[in-house]
Amino acid sequence: MSTYYDLCVIGAGPAGMSAAIRATRLGLSTLVAERQPGPGGQIFRSAESASPELLRLLGHDCARGRKLIRTFRACGAEFWPEATVWGLEPGAVYVSRGGRSRAVRAGHVLIATGAMERPVPVPGWTLPGVLGAGAADVLLKSSNLRPEGPVVLVGNGPLLVQSVHHLKALGVPVSALVTTGSNAAALRALPLAPAALLRPAYFAAKGALAARVLLGGAPRYSGARDIRITGRDGDFTVTFRTGGRVRSVQGATVLLHEGVVPETRATQLAGCRHDWHAKQRHWYAAADVWGRTSVTGVSVAGDCAGVLGADAAMARGRLAALNVCREAGRLSTARRDALGRADRLSLVRIRAAQRLLDTVFAVAPEVLLPADEAVVCRCEELTAGELRTLLAAGCASPDGLKAQSRAGMGPCQGRMCGQAVAEMIAQASGIPLEDLAPYRARMPLFPLSFDELAEMALPPL
Amino acid sequence: MNDQQNKHDAAEVVVLGGGAVGTAVAYYLARAGRNVALVELGEFPWGSSKRCDGHAVTYDSPPGYFSRLCKAGLDLFPEVAADLDVDFDFEPEGVGLLIDDERDLETARASIEGKRAEGIEVQFWDRAELRRREPGVADDVLACLNFASDAKLNPMRLAFGLARRAGAYGARLMPRTRVTGIETRDGAVAAVLTDRGRIASPVVIDACGVWAPLIGQMVGLTIPIRPRQGQILVSEKLRGLASQSYAEYGYLAAKGGRKRNGVTADMEAYGVALVAEPTEAGTVLFGSSRRYVGLDTSSHPGVLRAMAQRARRFFPRLAEARIIRCYAGLRPATPDGKPIISPTPVPGFFVAAGHEGNGIGLSLITGKLVAELLGGGPTSVDLAPLRLERFLEPPHAA
């Protein structure tokens, strides 16, 4: 009953698609499982079906996304859209598709689950009408839904800058940009600036974006702390402290964004080793340049192995596929190395540039520490204050706090609260965050029904 | 050199293991005024007590010594619940054994008197009564043997609360501490060595569950405990599926070697039997499985599938309900299925481990008995059947 592929790729973003294209070209039978209805990942979401207006707005990103998707569709890889991988073990992946689950046996598993917006709990972040800037971007790309203006943007990171640009181009008024970053961070990044010269096109484009933001005329505040959102959908007030003063701004919609973090639940479940990114304060799947993780037979590509963006994801996908082909006996080591040379070089340049971005947009640890009244675990509706009471009573690890509070035991399995919880524990206990193991990932990664599990097709014992 | 120079580096008793059993032992000792240190590699709790269901029951043993021990253990919970400042959701609301095989009706009825004689409250619900009380149970289930005083609780909060209260009574709590060795002098326990220093102590209690043998090795003892893995499925919040916990009667019969109705090869191979526990939070925990797979605590989809099939067989309404999480834990199993609560040939080294699936229910009575044992007086339950010697080679004639 089970199906066998030489390679099973989880995620059809730029990394997963690029890997599948390369792997099939070199003769591997390849399956790509993707949760969304179409390929593209977050960045190329709905690029295939984008309206002319959206195409104009997204420009280059959309065009190259369409090209990649076209090549991917024609490459011969089996593509399963709306397929959720909920379980992983050596040599097998458990996939739910159309309400039915099955085991897919795979010679090699490539995890390319990308990144997600970092959830940063602030009071009011659970109100309807408050959403992530990235989530708003997805709504725009997939459903052509635009947020009701005026919009207040709050947070930090390059995507926030991009959101301002998109909103302006769509004619949605922006009432304020409230950043948690500081001008000092930009100064700290100066010594790294020459790295940007290695990849001039990218920085020219992003630099122009930033300039347009500054010229846009919307009030901009930096170094914001103690952010609170009150009101209701269509009529919000965002208050914050900056430069010793408390300020407030109004908007119909609030978009939050504090950078993106690797989506590592699949790599955690697979048992891969993870490393800690001190500047961006997140875990990422540890891998070598070929995407090899600490687990034999499991590779990674793209942002789940460290956030580097779409160009890097494509290069990493191709490199990972080359190595899987080598392990499958399709390529000699010398041939793999030769075919991978250009991508390895471009990755060196991208990594250097990313160091600059990571510094400019370094996340301030205190921004990640929620105020007592902020709901941290949305599934169980637990506030930071409630969790801090338990921390004071003796919990000193994410799994320990989960056991006592139920934070992280809900349907999202700690996807939303895991990072804030770890930050709070590190602060309360004095244990460095990198020494605190994150919540243990558990099957099923996404909920599934008893019927579906009970009727799953499996090879007999 | 004086071991007692620094009182922080010395204790009358060092308890190793911060699960339900170890924290209960530390709690009873500290409450009795003993100078006790409680050492745990992780937090309270960290091992099997964090990866189990929350049953404290008498249903799963035939009348006799072990059944009476379980009853004595269950009886301690109300008093301890009142003493702790952590609410561990103790609910003696009953656990029902579902009977779906005509052959079991007579044996089930016959077992009632023996259990009642031990003070255990047992009721027999026929099919109509079961339907009336629990409409979610499958129509073809014939009857239910209800153990009305069997309880559920939150084991994680129990162990957390016991450790906290032990600390309030003066116990020194040492979470995140690794035991690296045990020092002996003239063959007797002298100190526990940890990565946070040496604790001089004449008495060590090994309450490390499936890890108890590793500690035993440090003093040259073979403790026959094997990890027996159990998996659990957690449903989304399902108010109204069942008003209390249930298990399948057939599994008790299956232990005697008889095949159950409607059981697949997978279920047999994985030792799958229904256990359903609606938790205070609204989710329902579904067990169970029994496999010897070393210290592996990962979930196995094949086992999970067999468990989902078994759960659905007894609760058809589950069909569309969602599973939101799975986990697995390790039961510390001895060759005869009973715990070891015992002194050992090494003076000062005691074992309180090997409770298999009854560690939560027997945690308090184990703590109480160890405190009595160390007090030197008679114990309230005869400990002879739980001695380690029952597994040791007979001593050579002198």
| pLDDT tens, position by position, A100-147 | 999 999 999 999 999 999 999 999 999 999 999 999 988 888 888 889
Per residue in B285-333, pLDDT tens? 999 999 999 999 999 999 999 999 999 999 999 999 999 999 999 999 9
Summarize pLDDT for A179-232 with one digit per residue, the tens: 998 765 555 555 555 555 455 555 555 655 565 555 567 788 989 999 999 999
**Rounded-to-integer distance, Cα B264 and Cα A353, Å:** 58
Which whole-number Å values give the CA distances from A68 to A39, A44, A47, in the listed order? Answer: 10, 9, 10
Q: Where does B95-147+226-333 sit in CATH, by number?
A: 3.30.9.10
Q: Is A450 close to B45, i.e. CB distance below 8 A?
A: no
Average pLDDT over residues B336-346: 97
Contact A86, A191 (CB under 8 A): no
Question: In whole angstroms, what is the distance from residue A318 CA to residue A9 CA?
Answer: 12
pLDDT digits (tens, 9 = 90+) for B222-270: 999 999 999 999 999 998 899 999 999 988 877 767 788 889 999 999 9
| pLDDT the model gives residue A302 | 97
DSSP readout, A266-287? HHHHTT--EEEETTTTEEEE--
- What is the C-alpha separation between B148 and B115, in angstroms, rounded? 12
C-alpha dist (Å) from residue B202 to A32, B2, B9, B171, B196: 61, 14, 12, 16, 19
H/E segment holding residue A377:
strand A375-377
pLDDT given for residue A191 in this prediction: 54
CA gap A46, A387 in Å, rounded: 39
d(Cα B82, Cα B73) in Å, to the nearest integer?
16
| Chain A closest-CA separation from residue B394 CA (Å) | 41
Alpha-carbon span B258 to B135, nearest angstrom: 29
Question: Does the pLDDT at position A1 exceed 50?
Answer: no
CA A15/CA A19 separation, integer angstroms: 6
CB atoms B308 and A380 under 8 Å = no
| Chain A residues closer than 8 Å to B173 by CB | 394
Residue B135 corresponds to which amino acid? P
Mind listing the pLDDT tens digit for each residue in A256-294? Answer: 999 999 999 999 999 999 999 998 999 999 999 999 999
- B262 at A interface, C-beta within 8 A: no
Contact A204, A162 (CB under 8 A): no
Matching fold, domains B7-50+156-224+337-391 and B95-147+226-333:
no
Residue B145, Cα to own-chain centre: how many angstroms? 22
**Strand residue runs (E) in chain B:** 13-16, 36-39, 55-56, 95-99, 122-125, 143-147, 151-152, 172-174, 179-185, 188-194, 197-200, 203-206, 226-235, 245-248, 275-278, 284-287, 322-333, 340-343, 349-353
What average pLDDT score do residues B61-65 get?
Answer: 94
- Which residues of chain A lie closer than 8 angstroms to B156, CB-CB? 403-404
Tokens read off for A154: 């709050």
CA separation for the pair A93, A100 (Å, rounded): 14
What CATH code is assigned to B7-50+156-224+337-391? 3.50.50.60
**Are the Cβ atoms of B318 and A450 closer than 8 angstroms?**
yes
Q: What is the pLDDT of residue A53?
A: 77
Of B86, B156, B320, the CB nearest to A451: B320
pLDDT above 90: residue B360: yes
Closest CA to B289 of B52, B12, B44: B52
pLDDT for the residue B2 = 43
Residue A243, pLDDT > 80, answer yes
- A183 by Cβ neighbours in 10 Å (0-12 / 13-18 / 19+) ranks as exposed
Q: Can you tell me the mean pLDDT for A47-76?
A: 85
Domains and CATH numbers, chain A: 3-116+261-357 (3.50.50.60), 119-258 (3.50.50.60), 369-435 (1.10.10)
Per-residue pLDDT, A189: 53
- Minimal C-alpha gap between A450 and chain B (Å): 5
- Could you tell me the residue ranges of all domains in chain B? 7-50+156-224+337-391, 95-147+226-333
Q: What is the tens place of the pLDDT at every residue in A377-417?
A: 999 999 999 999 999 988 989 999 999 999 999 999 899 99
Distance CA A182, CA A185 (A): 5
Q: Mean pLDDT in chain A?
A: 90
Number of continuous H segments (helices) and E segments (strands) in chain A: 15, 22
Is there a contact between B236 and B322 (Cβ–Cβ < 8 Å)? Answer: yes
Q: State the pLDDT at residue A59.
A: 72
Q: Report how many Cβ contacts below 8 Å link chain A to chain B.
A: 103
What is the predicted pLDDT for the residue at B4?
42
Instruction: Please state, for a pLDDT cut of 90, what percent of chain B lies above it.
Output: 91
For the stretch B138-196, pLDDT in tens is 999 999 999 999 999 999 999 999 999 999 999 999 999 999 999 999 999 999 999 99
CA distance B268 to chain A (A): 11
What is the band of B1 on the pLDDT scale with cuts at 50, 70, 90? very low
Check if A395 contacts B (Cβ < 8 Å): yes
Helices (H) and strands (E) in chain B, counts: 11, 19
Which DSSP symbol is given to A49? G
- Of the candidates B336, B360, B335, the one whose C-alpha atom is nearest the C-alpha of residue B70 is B360
